[in-house]
Chains A and B, each alone.
Chain A
Amino acid sequence: MKFLPLLWSSLWRKKVRTIFTLLSIFVAFLLFGLLMTIRGAFSFGVEIAGIDRLVLIHKVSLIMPLPVSYLARLNTTEGVTMATHNTWFGGVYQDPANFFAQIAVEPEPFTKLYPEYKVPPEQMKAWLADRQGVMVGVDLAKRFGWKVGDRVPIVGTIWQPKQGQVWEFNIAGLYDGDTGVDKTQFFFRYDYLDENRRGGQGLVGWYIVKIADPGAAQQMGAKFDEMFANSSAETKTTTEKGFVEGFAKQVGDIGAIMISITIAVLFTMILVAANTMAQSVRERTSEVGVLKTLGFSNASILVLVLSESVLIAVIGGGLGLLTAWAFVQQGDPTGGMLPIFILPTRDVVLGGALVVGLGLLAGMWPALNAMNLKITDALRRA
């Protein structure tokens, strides 16, 4: 710590060079933060998806509906804590570009199965009292400026109402959640959908079943599929985590692409930083000679050079990560396409480790050279 003034002054010897080094490391780690965020956004919340919740879809494909009669059978099956169903609505609010998820649910079982969606009790009561009530995520409400009590008209696409084309909803409440929870969804009541749709009565999209023992997920899944095998609507059961993962995988291996870009960027960065560091040390060979004459040991020279390198990396990289984090706090810039837009703490810590690693790697070769310099050679080079 007592050498900090020495380090600081040697940094600012060549102001321009130091500034540009800081800037390029800053950009590299800003990119790192953003790429990790994008990678997370494309995994659609797979980390918090439940493993004690199973999803049953039609075996042929997700777009085929299942009969609502399965609900009773699932609820009376041994090992099942609770079962409910969801139905995709896919309506249009003003403009198809304003996409957000609209799902018909059974209010009470749904909120019990998903405690991560936090609903205030009075709003829950209002939802149960109003057939046309909806529970809207806080992020979605912020996006469109909705408040509790607002009336929201949505044009039906898959399901048309008996009269006209527009379904009317009242916002009964707003749900909140911890970081990583998708707060952009629109949950309304299944009974309202079923009574008012033109055809398709008694059909639901998919089932969600909470099982008592998460370890038995595989067997329970097999049991359900067997229950409905050879019927008109055969099912395919996966854990909720597997289901979300499947979706993420359909989008393609975005994660791998992001990581490879990051590696390429960081590699180039290390190259440039190492080159700069080497030049910087080479220029001060005579100074190193003087330090050694004064009695600084070889090891301390090594530490000094490495510290200088790490200091630059930490300042530049730290600022870059901070800026990335601040940008991500603003929320999803695409307006709805990436609901989970956060920079996980784990990636910030990883970034920090990479910053220090970059500093050490870049400074290693010049530091070793400086360490092994003979005093007479060093002084002669002046």
Chain B
Amino acid sequence: MFNWISQTIAVTALNLRTIPRRLGSSGVAIVGIAGVVIVLVSVLSIAAGFTAAMQQSGSPSRAIVMRSGADSEMTSGLSGAEVDVIKQAPGLRRDGQTAIASAELYVIIDIPKKSTNTSANVPMRGIEQTAMSVRGEASIVEGRMLEFGTNEIVVGRGANGQFAGLTVGNEFKSGQNTWKVVGIFETDGAVSETEIWCDSRVLQGVYRRGNSYQTVLAQLDSSDSFNTFRDWLTANPQVNVQVRREADYYAQQSRALSGLIQGVGVGIAALMGIGAVFGAILTMYTAVSTRSREIATLRALGFNTTSVVVSVLVESLALAAIGGALGGVGAYFAFNGYQTSTMNFSTFSQVAFAFQVTPQLLVMGLIYALAMGLIGGLFPALRAARLPIPTALREL
């Protein structure tokens, strides 16, 4: 028993020590596996980044009220009278007499996207003064908050990065109206960082909405008072609304696009994985074939077959591990935090997010590489062990 272990260790050590002599084929194996891991991790990091941005958005302790039947903020419509009724509902947090709720408009405005220089649908939200207290996580990080009643706007960090001309102090014209950027806000990486915020009254004038809004975002008294809030509103004959937790609303909005990105990402990753396994098998086959004589010699000397098989497998795993680590590190440095934006068809507006190479993805990439190394090394190892020694010695 002990003999077997010491044989295995000896042969494995020999194999690993002589890897530098086979730099050519070892290099091919490492580069091949690293390439596959980079592609896998980067494609899946797109989905991870988008999902993270959507998950950050929407708190379960806030409720969003829209017209009944509307499938997104943009298609909803609430009259000024309805908004007043909504603000009287129980279950809302109140600061003295004022409800911590913001009646909002959600429209899109055409602004050129920096990366392609063509127009993009940038979301623009008309807010009320209570908006910042409703959104606890929002903070102004540059410049100052907008002054209500004027054409001043604040833009999210994501919008500032992705679209042209949204810098503090800049003014731009849209239709007949001029907007002035006075500040940049952040909301912990949520989807709202792709938005531009302005006074809803001013927006109503520009987009000719009269005294109408589209949604009311309300801070609930506590997460449990949601039911009270919702039931009072749905039973009330003066309004015709649907009430949801903000977190649920955003989850639903991102479902279609997340599903598409995940689906495409996972599909490509799966196919690449299959192809990579074949490639790994081929590479290891070639690597082992070049050493048929060496392996046969070892066997002729008396080393048992298992130790030979194990040593080939360990070498294969070692190469795969190096390839996987290189691929993961490469993907991290090349893609992590890479800012981009795309159009969410559910809301017909842009969503800015960053590629996220999460630790789970890196671990997954490494596991994948090791699996490729294992499968890739198994057949050649078994073949090398089972080939009759005279035949093997005769091979090149």
Contact B116 A61 (CB under 8 A): no
The reply on B36 being an interface residue by CB < 8 A is: yes
Which residue of the partner chain, among A20, A59, A99, A236, contacts B282 with CB atoms under 8 Å?
A20
Measured CB to CB, the closest approach of chain A to B368, in angstroms, equals 14
Contact A30 B71 (CB under 8 A): no
Instruction: Give the residues from 54 to 106 in chain A that come closer than 8 angstroms, CB to CB, to chain B.
Output: 58-64, 90, 92, 96-97, 99
Q: Would A63 and B74 be within 8 Å (CB), given that A24-B278, A155-B69 are in contact?
A: yes
The reply on B247 being an interface residue by CB < 8 A is: no
Instruction: Give the residues from 86 to 121 in chain B that come closer than 8 angstroms, CB to CB, to chain A.
Output: 107-110, 113, 115-116, 118-121
Which of B130-138, B224-232, B268-276, B304-312 lies at the interface? B268-276
Residue of A nearest to B108 (CB): A61
Q: What's the Cα separation between A232 and B74 when bound, in Å?
A: 21
Q: Would A96 and B71 be within 8 Å (CB), given that A234-B175, A246-B119 are in contact?
A: yes
Contact A60 B279 (CB under 8 A): no
Q: Would A337 and B260 be within 8 Å (CB), given that A31-B272, A252-B341, A271-B28 are in contact?
A: yes
Instruction: Report the interface size class on chain A.
Output: 35 or more
Contact A20 B285 (CB under 8 A): yes
The reply on B363 being an interface residue by CB < 8 A is: no
Q: Would A62 and B108 be within 8 Å (CB), given that A31-B275, A38-B264, A268-B35 are in contact?
A: yes
The reply on B336 being an interface residue by CB < 8 A is: no
Residue of B nearest to A268 (CB): B35
Residue of A nearest to B263 (CB): A334
Q: Would A276 and B282 be within 8 Å (CB), given that A59-B175, A64-B207 are in contact?
A: yes
Contact B282 A250 (CB under 8 A): no
Interface centre among B207, B275, B290 (most CB of A within 10 A): B275
Contact B396 A20 (CB under 8 A): no
Interface string of B278-319 (1 = CB under 8 A from A): 110111011001100000000000000000000000000000
Contact A24 B74 (CB under 8 A): no
Q: Which residues of B contact A165 (CB under 8 A)?
A: 69
Q: What's the Cα separation between A337 and B379 when bound, in Å?
A: 42
Measured CB to CB, the closest approach of chain B to A335, in angstroms, equals 10
Which of B3-11, B55-63, B149-157, B342-350 lies at the interface? B342-350
Q: Which residues of B contact A265 (CB under 8 A)?
A: 39, 272, 275
Measured CB to CB, the closest approach of chain B to A202, in angstroms, equals 13
Instruction: Report the interface size class on chain B.
Output: 35 or more
Residue of A nearest to B72 (CB): A157
Q: Would A17 and B285 be within 8 Å (CB), given that A24-B279, A155-B69, A157-B69 are in contact?
A: yes
The reply on A241 being an interface residue by CB < 8 A is: no
The reply on B256 being an interface residue by CB < 8 A is: yes
The reply on A168 being an interface residue by CB < 8 A is: no
The reply on A253 being an interface residue by CB < 8 A is: yes
Q: Which residues of A contact B278 (CB under 8 A)?
A: 20, 23-24, 27
The reply on B176 being an interface residue by CB < 8 A is: yes
Contact B121 A27 (CB under 8 A): no
Q: Would A272 and B289 be within 8 Å (CB), given that A63-B108, A234-B175, A253-B115 are in contact?
A: no
Residue of B nearest to A277 (CB): B286
Q: Which residues of A contact B74 (CB under 8 A)?
A: 63
Q: Which residues of A contact B69 (CB under 8 A)?
A: 155-157, 160, 165
Instruction: Give the residues from 252 to 278 in chain A that come closer than 8 angstroms, CB to CB, to chain B.
Output: 252-253, 261, 264-265, 267-269, 271-272, 275-276
Q: What's the Cα separation between A160 and B74 when bound, in Å?
A: 14
The reply on A251 being an interface residue by CB < 8 A is: yes
Q: What's the Cα separation between A363 and B32 when bound, in Å?
A: 18
Q: Which residues of B contact A16 (CB under 8 A)?
A: 285, 379
Q: Which residues of A contact B25 (CB under 8 A)?
A: 275
The reply on A245 being an interface residue by CB < 8 A is: yes
Measured CB to CB, the closest approach of chain B to A293, in angstroms, equals 19
Contact B282 A21 (CB under 8 A): yes
Contact A276 B286 (CB under 8 A): yes
Q: Would A158 and B75 be within 8 Å (CB), given that A20-B281, A250-B342 are in contact?
A: yes
Residue of B nearest to A246 (CB): B118
The reply on B147 being an interface residue by CB < 8 A is: no
Q: Which residues of B contact A64 (CB under 8 A)?
A: 107, 207
Q: Which residues of B contact A261 (CB under 8 A)?
A: 39, 43, 268
Q: Which residues of A contact B107 (CB under 8 A)?
A: 61, 63-64
Contact B283 A27 (CB under 8 A): no
Q: Which residues of A contact B260 (CB under 8 A)?
A: 334, 337
The reply on A217 being an interface residue by CB < 8 A is: no
Contact B109 A60 (CB under 8 A): yes
Q: What's the Cα separation between A60 and B178 when bound, in Å?
A: 11
Q: What's the Cα separation between A63 and B214 when bound, in Å?
A: 14
Which of A115-123, A208-216, A279-287 lies at the interface? A279-287
Q: What's the Cα separation between A356 and B308 when bound, in Å?
A: 39
The reply on A135 being an interface residue by CB < 8 A is: no
Given contacts A63-B107, A252-B115, A271-B31, 12 further A-B contacts (CB under 8 A): A60-B109, A61-B109, A157-B71, A245-B118, A249-B120, A252-B340, A253-B115, A272-B282, A272-B283, A275-B28, A276-B282, A337-B256
A-B contact pairs, 19 of them (CB 8 A): A17-B282, A20-B285, A27-B274, A60-B109, A60-B110, A60-B174, A62-B108, A157-B69, A158-B75, A160-B69, A234-B175, A249-B113, A250-B118, A252-B343, A268-B35, A271-B32, A272-B32, A272-B282, A272-B283
| A interface residues, Cβ below 8 angstroms from B | 16-17, 20-21, 23-24, 27-28, 30-31, 34-35, 38, 58-64, 90, 92, 96-97, 99, 155-158, 160, 165, 230, 232, 234, 236, 245-247, 249-253, 261, 264-265, 267-269, 271-272, 275-276, 279, 282-283, 285, 334, 337, 381
